[in-house]
Amino acid sequence: MPDEGSMFGMPAEKGRWVLVFLGMAINLCLGSIYSWSVFVNPLTDYFTGSLGQSVTANEVLMPFSVFLAFFAIAMPLAGKYIETLGPRNVTIIGGVLTGLGWLLASMVTSVQMLYLVYGVIGGVGVGIAYGVPVAVAARWFPDRRGLAVGLTVLGFGFSAFLTANIAGYLISSFGVMDTFRIFGIAFVVLIIVLALPLRFPVPGWKPRGWNPPVPKPGEETCECDRGAMLRTPTFYGLWACFFIGCLAGLMAISIAKPVGTEIGIEAGLATLLVGFFAVFNGGGRPIFGSLTDRITPRNTALASFVLIALASLALWQVPAIPVYILAFAILWGCLGGWLAIAPTATGTYFGTCDYPRCYGLVFLAYGAGAIAGPQLAGFIKTTTGNYMGVFPYVLALSLIGLAIAWVLVKAPKKMTS
């Protein structure tokens, strides 16, 4: 067995956990996009009040959608460079672009400019950097992949707990444009420093004393390339379920604060609740990741759709403050869960030899959900005057996801690379 020796002054089996926590911290910076709902009203006021421009709900939500879409598009394109340039260099490139997107956003004079500088540049930066800690965790933890990946991406979901409240304070103290500037500079510095120790293990490395479990006949994991993955129905089932899970969750994230104010929650408290929900978004990742290790990706996917359906039904039928808090906690938690289920399922079903490119393609489902979710929410708000009409759609989609997961999300019987 290849020997990695020591890491950070510890045996590799222990030192590898430092890489998980570095990845978590990197994702804490990258996940600041999830605090976007805190920027919605200040940006609307800035464009209408300071600049005298008329903006709609869809227009102010569009930078969120564009950012997440380019985030997802950049993931598969950047995948091969993680292998050739190395995890450290790719993360630094992505971190600089992420910070640049936030920094340039502080200089815009129209909401359309935000689409380009924040949405495209910032989104591409996050797409380049995000896949690196996930790939590093998947490679270092063949024995506990779901938990390690879940903890790594926990930072992305937990980010809004910190950044929403920091952003709220900075916006009230310095204004929304200066807040973009402060975030941009901070992200460049932090991500560069955190990226320096990132690396892959040598090929064939595994923890001492651990041997891969013996798979059932016909259900062996295939160490295959992206082309072989595309020839399986499992890929399409996983992609569709990931899309539905992300669509429901990203709709909830993009409208969390406005829905709260609609049902009578004071604006300041609604901002605090965004941070509270982020705890569930972050916590859902290691929880669902660990469940994926224990009860299979398929059963974990089924459980998530049942929870999404129940939360949507409850909020649709009983739009009260306690139900809102419980339902949004579940929706944010399930979105976080899918950010652990999907990468773990990719490694479980398709191996890790071409993992960055394989998961990059699966991750396009997230980008599709990023476009469809917030824009559907904005369309419903524009046509009905409120956001509550969103939840019957989420309920219906979760039932469709339940059926797809039951039929298609399972280990492929035979695969060839």
The predicted-structure confidence for 145-166, as pLDDT tens digits, reads as follows 888 888 898 888 778 778 888 9
| Average pLDDT of the residues in 339-358 | 84
- For every residue of 48-85, DSSP letters joined together read IIIS-----HHHHHHHHHHHHHHHHHHHHHHHHHHHHH
Residue 34: its pLDDT value, please? Answer: 76
For residue 69, what pLDDT is reported?
Answer: 79
Q: How confident is the model at residue 417 (pLDDT cuts 50, 70, 90)?
A: very low
Residue 392 banded pLDDT, cuts 50, 70, 90: confident
- In single-letter form, the type of residue at position 124 comes to V
CA distances from 302 to 177, 211, 295, 308 (A): 42, 29, 11, 10
Predicted confidence (pLDDT) at residue 221 exceeds the cutoff of 60: no
**Domains of the chain by start residue, with CATH:** 6-207+219-408 (1.20.1250.20)
Which has the closest alpha carbon to 330: 344, 354, 311? 311
Count Cβ atoms within 10 A of the Cβ of residue 102 and give its class: 0-12 exposed, 13-18 middle, 19 or more buried: buried
Question: Predicted confidence band at 214 (pLDDT cuts at 50, 70, 90)?
Answer: low
Compute the average pLDDT of residues 84-92. Answer: 94
Most confident listed range (5-19, 26-40, 110-124)? 110-124
Helix (H) or strand (E) holding 16: helix 12-30
Q: Which two tokens stand for residue 152?
A: 């790594």
For the segment 318-336, the average pLDDT, to the nearest whole number, is: 89
Give the pLDDT mean for 279-298: 86
Query: What's the rounded Cα separation, in Å, for the pair 359 and 131?
Result: 8
Question: H helices then E strands: how many in the chain?
Answer: 15, 2
Contact (Cβ atoms closer than 8 angstroms) between residue 333 and residue 283: yes
Most confident option among 131-135, 189-193, 270-274, 318-322: 189-193
The yes-or-no verdict on residue 350 having pLDDT over 60 is yes
Decide if pLDDT at 5 tops 70. Answer: no
Which pLDDT does position 216 carry in this prediction? Answer: 57
pLDDT for residue 290: 87
pLDDT of residue 414: 58
Q: Summarize the confidence of residues 51-64 as an average pLDDT.
A: 78
How far is residue 87's CA from residue 119's CA, in Å, rounded to a whole number?
24
pLDDT at 313 over 60: yes
Q: What is the DSSP letter of 130?
A: H
Contacts (Cβ under 8 Å, ≥6 apart) of 385: none
pLDDT band at residue 318 using 50, 70 and 90 as cut-offs: confident
Percent of the chain past pLDDT 70, that is, above it, reads 94
pLDDT at 168: 86
pLDDT at 354: 78
Q: What is the pLDDT of residue 209?
A: 78
The model's pTM is 0.75
Q: What percent of the chain has pLDDT over 90?
A: 34
What average pLDDT does the segment 113-132 reach? 93
Distance of alpha carbon 223 from alpha carbon 98, whole angstroms = 32
- What is the average pLDDT value for the chain, to the nearest integer? 85
pLDDT higher than 60, residue 219: no
Range of weakest confidence among 45-49, 87-91, 220-224, 243-247: 220-224
Whole-number pLDDT of residue 340: 86
What confidence tens digit (pLDDT) does each residue in 27-56 have? 999 988 878 878 888 888 888 877 767 777
Q: Which pLDDT does position 416 carry in this prediction?
A: 45
